[in-house]
Structure 1
Amino acid sequence: MKIIVCVKQVPDTNEVKIDPVKGTLIREGVPSILNPDDKNALEEALALKDKNPAVHVTVITMGPPQADEMLRECLAMGADEAILLSDRAFAGADTWATSNTLAAAVRKIGNYDILFAGRQAIDGDTAQVGPQLAERLDIPQVTYVQHFEIQGEEILVQRALEDGYELIKAKTPVLLTAIKELNHPRYMSIDGIYDAFREKEVKVWTLADLAVQKQEVGLDASPTQVKRSFTPEPKGKGIMLKGNTKEMVEQLVGSLKQKHII
Structure 2
Amino acid sequence: MSERFAGQTAIITGASRGIGLAIAERLVAEGAKVVITGREAAALAEAVARLGGPEHALGVAGHAADTAHQDEVIAKAVDAFGSAGLLVNNTGINPVYGPLTELDPDVARNVVEVNVLAALSWVQKIYKAWMSGHGGAVVGVASLSGIRPEPGIGMYGASKAMLMHLTKELAVELSPRVRVNAVAPAVVKTRFAAALYEGREDAVAAEYPLGRLGSPDDVAGAVAFLLSADAAWITGRTLVVDGGLAAAGGA
**TM-score, normalisation: structure 2:** 0.38
Could you say which structure has the larger radius of gyration? Answer: 1
- The structure in which a higher percent of residues are helix is 2
TM-score normalised per structure 1: 0.37
